[in-house]
Structure 1
Amino acid sequence: MRLILNIIWLVLSGFWMAVGYVVAGIICCVLIVTIPFGIASFRIAGYALWPFGRTTVERRDAGAASCVGNVVWLVFAGWWLALGHVITGIALCVSIIGIPLGLANFKLIPISLMPLGREIVPTDQPFATR
């Protein structure tokens, strides 16, 4: 079932949302100082491309720097990526078949707003940390 949902997701919204994260990542990497944001953006792009079967957990070793970084991310890139998830989530929830995909879009909003200090893990191992 995950495979089918991921394939439908990829076609309907995953590809375009991943492209948004890749564009944000490229811009962040070009600006040198924001390379950690670019790396986080590329990591989330993979999650946005294939979300079913994975989830996010907070990293225990994330400190104050990730909190400050999340505020900077929110101001410059997070809000428009979250807006993309809201718009596509609402559009997908219009049909009954698209409701699980719309809910997956809404699930991605918190990580699109504050990606630092989070880790993407398989859903069968949500407490596994490195």
Structure 2
Amino acid sequence: MSLVLNILWIVLGGAWMAFGWLVAAGIMMVTIVGIPWARAALNIALYTLMPFGYQAVPRDAHTGQEDIGTGALGMLGNILWLVLAGWWLALCHVITAVMLAVTIIGIPFAWAHLKLAGISLWPVGKMIVPKDGGMPAHRV
């Protein structure tokens, strides 16, 4: 079922939002200082392409140990991300969610966009894992 939903997702807004994440990653790469955020944006771009069957969780809650991305530096990184890129990516996800929510068929996709809007605002220290509890897909 996740495969069918992910294919429909790509057609109904996932592809263009993944492109938005790739643009954000490219802009961050150009600045050199933004390379750590660019890596996070690339991981979320992958998550944006296939959100069904996966979830974003705090990395320290999943691994049981704190690291640089889940401590004070991670919070600073998230604040910088929010100011530089997070708010407009979240806004794009919310606009897409509103457009999809107009139809009954689009409601699950709108909900997925709202979840992605949340991670757009505060991505550092998150990890993308399968919903069934398997091995992580990628770290943010």
Q: TM-score range by the shorter chain?
A: over 0.9
5+ unaligned residues in a row in structure 1: which ranges?
A: none
Structure 2 stretches lacking a partner, 5+ long: 61-65
2:76, 2:124 → 1: CA distance? 9
Q: How does 1:40-59 map to 2 (within 5 A)?
A: 40-59=40-59
Partner residue, 2:113: 105
What is the percent sequence identity of the aligned residues? 53
Which residue pairs with 1:9 in the alignment? Answer: 9
Structure 2 distance, partners of 1:106, 1:126, is 24
Aligned residue number for residue 30 of structure 1: 30
- 8 Å CA contact retained: 1:54, 1:120: yes
TM-score for the superposition, normalised by structure 1: 0.95
RMSD: 1.5
Write out the 4+ residue segments of structure 1 that deviate beyond 6 Å after TM superposition.
none
Q: Does 2:80 correspond to 1:72?
A: yes
Range moving further from structure 2, 40-49 or 118-127: 118-127
Q: Distance in 1 between matches of 2:105 and 2:115?
A: 17
| Distance in 2 separating the partners of 1:31 and 1:42 | 15
Aligned residues: 129
Partner of 1:95: 103
